[in-house]
Structure 1
Amino acid sequence: MQFLEAASNSPPSLHVIYINTSLETKAYGHELVPTITCTSSNVVQMIFQAFAQVPDLNVWYGPDSYMGANIVELFHQMADMADEEISRIHPEHNRNSIRSLLKRLHYYQDGNCIVHDMFGHEVVERIKGLYCDAFLTAHFEVPGEMFSLATEAKRRGMGVVGSTQNILDFIKNRVQEALDRDIDDHLQFVLGTESGMLTSIVAAVRELLGSRESRCKIKVEIVFPVSSDSVSRTSVNGSRGLNSAIPSDITELAVVPGVANGEGCSIHGGCASCPYMKMNSLNSLLRVCQQLPDKDGTLHAYEANRFKAVTPGGKPVADIGCEPILHMRHFQATGKLPDKLIHHILHGGIPTTNFKKNT
């Protein structure tokens, strides 16, 4: 709140908040500073567009400090790019405009993702020693040291930094290039993002490798590096109910990404994936569905009351918290910040919002 209060005292200001935050956080932020949600895929374009639409704007990003620091570092790097390269990213910007906006780009420095925190110094040193010839990838949310390592690899044509989609596209393109060369090859990719992305990468690579017959042998290795504190040993007795539903090849692994206990990060709880992102399971959904219709009031007892809450200013959390999401949806559809948000930035005040009507 102190971070946002500082932003509110520096008009004109826009608060860009990561989508994976609670509705209360979005609402409380939007009440203090005009707020729009973002994803790792659209945050760079969104910030560029905001600066293009509002002269002398201050942009405040939060709450993920790793992602914020990496965004600032990326903009510093782009300030040294040729104007032609910059215009391909956003046509209304050049080196001078980027250099002028750097002092007005702020980020929250006291928060981080508990999953991406595992990609720290120990992991970077291990990558340097064991995988110096591999392709390196890094999500916006990893610590700066890992992000810088992948950025340097990107300059050599051996890496990518950005969103999960950027990483997936990069891997698919490198595999396709290897297939087009039609010679034996072994590709190594170091995956600098959470383990939940492994499935989509493996599926995409398998589809490419099986798309055509070839006499050459292409081997693709996906390396998921984590710190020693983020690994748990597997065993039937210590896996919290590991049973035949878990594929046998997984149970044979000696270690898996994930802390040894707590927070749902064991092999049974979703490996190193975020415990909060993985709380909703298919089994839980099925259990709810099996109790519908709720004739005896069993489910009614668990009705969510949290969104009946109000902000410190007395406005409904559900209404105010959803508005930044609607602003992002407008940006995704049009490529521009909505007039309503621009008016809020320039003139203040939070418009009364009827979320049901807007949706």
Structure 2
Amino acid sequence: MSPAFPVPVRPVIQQPPMVEEVLDDAERETLKARIKTLMKQQDAVLVAHYYTSADLQDLAEETGGCVSDSLEMARFGHAHPAKTLIVAGVKFMGETAKILNPEKRVIMPDLGAECSLDLACPADEFTAFCDAHPDRVSVVYANTSAAVKARADWVVTSGIAAKIVKYLHQQGHKLLWAPDRHLGDYVQRITGADMLLWQGSCVVHEAFKAEALKKLRTEHPDAAVLVHPESPEAVIALADVVGSTTQLIEAVRTLPNPEFIVATDNGIFHKMHAAAPGKILLEAPTAGEGATCTSCAHCPWMAMNGLRKLVAVLENGGNEIHIEESIRARARLSIQKMLDFAAAEKAGHIQLGD
């Protein structure tokens, strides 16, 4: 029997004010031209998350970079010959890029761009939780620090979490899960695994309101509801598609519906419009009973990224990601397990069954 150790209480995260970069066309083009010159001089490539600004996403693609989810950003950077990786996103994404690319310089527009899930799971508290339950395999979401990844047995993304948890469950393992309680609950419900859940949550996804979503769906009966599994159970229950950022973009591209109600960060709309320009996209509501804001569908830490800050870091240096080698090496092992599992499952070497 595991030693008595309470599941950590739900942490309170103070999020910064929302401050989005606003540029006129002239300044935008001047900044982009300067960035392109500096990137060539420094042998740099830009990888941007779906939740960053349209300006950064466009610049990444214009310069041969990548716009994707956090893991693919790191994998793209690993395959690209550039010596410098510019990561436009939040800090754990920069750390993941460095974990997989230790030989490269990894910089970010703003190292203060944190993540509520990462902040909600301090490494010392997570380590104590794991130590109290040595009989359980620890599985952490990618939205965690390098130190937490180093302590974990497995790292997963939202797109592969259920498959890996199901595999471990079928092998007879009991699990610890961190940090997102909503994603963990979703995975637990669809796999039946024995999981102890950390109590973190994403400030964006937790804000979506089920009752207001029901009303919006009534007003748009032909719309498909797309939900990221970091959302509350009541919101997930209303979804036509539950999936990762990449899977939700693919749903907009392939489903025949003329409209989509999207329950994830609205930064993803830029890529969705590009993938399916004729489709109508609606933000899932964050207002309603229990709401703390009118519209919370954008991450304030993601909004810290911008062209002005990118110019500054390329001109002045700094904002480089550094990870102690012992931590980086251990974190790489837990990530590599996921990568190896994904490759084996794709090749048909792992059969999960029903």
How far did 1:195 drift?
A: 0.7
2:246 counterpart letter in structure 1:
Q
2:276 counterpart letter in structure 1:
V
Does the 8 Å CA contact 1:11/1:57 hold for their aligned counterparts?
A: no
For the residues of structure 2 that align with 1:48 and 1:103, how far apart are their CA atoms?
A: 7
How far did 1:2 drift?
A: 5.5
Report what 2:168 is aligned to: 50
How far did 1:231 drift?
A: 6.0
Pair 1:165 & 2:242 matched? no
Does the 8 Å CA contact 2:214/2:238 hold for their aligned counterparts?
A: no
Pair 1:139 & 2:196 matched? no
Report what 1:223 is aligned to: 282
For the residues of structure 2 that align with 1:325 and 1:204, how far apart are their CA atoms?
A: 29
Does the 8 Å CA contact 1:10/1:58 hold for their aligned counterparts?
A: no
Report what 2:262 is aligned to: 191
For the residues of structure 1 that align with 2:276 and 2:305, how far apart are their CA atoms?
A: 28
How far did 1:172 drift?
A: 1.7
For the residues of structure 1 that align with 2:336 and 2:194, how far apart are their CA atoms?
A: 25
Q: What SS does the aligned partner of 1:335 have?
A: helix
- Seen in structure 2, the aligned counterparts of structure 1 residues 130 and 230 have a Cα distance that, compared at 3 Å, is farther
For the residues of structure 1 that align with 2:335 and 2:302, how far apart are their CA atoms?
A: 18
Which residue, out of 123, 144, 163, partners 1:21?
144
Would you identify which runs of 4 or more consecutive aligned residues in structure 1 move more than 4 Å? 1-12, 229-232, 302-305
Report what 1:124 is aligned to: 213
For the residues of structure 1 that align with 2:264 and 2:320, how far apart are their CA atoms?
A: 34
1:112-149 Cα shifts (integer Å, max 9, x gaps): 10011221244334335423442111111111111011
Pair 1:113 & 2:202 matched? yes
1:286-330 Cα shifts (integer Å, max 9, x gaps): 2122236xxxxxx4xx7667x45xxxxxx9444434432233233
Does the 8 Å CA contact 2:165/2:193 hold for their aligned counterparts?
A: no
For the residues of structure 2 that align with 1:169 and 1:15, how far apart are their CA atoms?
A: 30
Report what 1:60 is aligned to: 176
Report what 2:187 is aligned to: 71
276-285 or 190-199: bigger deviation = 276-285
Structure 2-normalised TM-score? 0.54
1:160-198 Cα shifts (integer Å, max 9, x gaps): 1122222222222223xx7xxxxxxxx221111111211
How far did 1:277 drift?
A: 3.5
Pair 1:289 & 2:314 matched? yes
Does the 8 Å CA contact 1:124/1:145 hold for their aligned counterparts?
A: no
Q: What SS does the aligned partner of 2:299 have?
A: coil
Structure 1-normalised TM-score? 0.53
Q: Which runs of 5+ in 2 are unaligned?
A: 8-125, 347-354
Does the 8 Å CA contact 1:122/1:227 hold for their aligned counterparts?
A: no
How far did 1:103 drift?
A: 5.3
Q: Which runs of 5+ in 1 are unaligned?
A: 76-101, 151-158, 179-186, 210-219, 233-256, 259-271, 293-298, 309-314, 337-359
Pair 1:333 & 2:337 matched? no
Of structures 1 and 2, the larger Rg is shown by 1
Q: What SS does the aligned partner of 2:184 have?
A: helix
Q: What's the RMSD between the two structures over aligned residues?
A: 3.0
Q: What SS does the aligned partner of 1:149 have?
A: coil
55-64 or 118-127: bigger deviation = 118-127
Q: What SS does the aligned partner of 1:136 have?
A: strand
Pair 1:174 & 2:290 matched? no
Q: What SS does the aligned partner of 2:313 have?
A: helix
How far did 1:57 drift?
A: 0.6
**Once the two structures are aligned, what percentage of the paired residues are identical?**
23
For the residues of structure 1 that align with 2:230 and 2:144, how far apart are their CA atoms?
A: 14
- Seen in structure 2, the aligned counterparts of structure 1 residues 318 and 2 have a Cα distance that, compared at 3 Å, is farther
Q: What SS does the aligned partner of 2:203 have?
A: coil
Q: Counterparts in 2 of 1:232-271, with a 5 A limit?
A: 257-258=295-296
1:205 counterpart letter in structure 2:
A
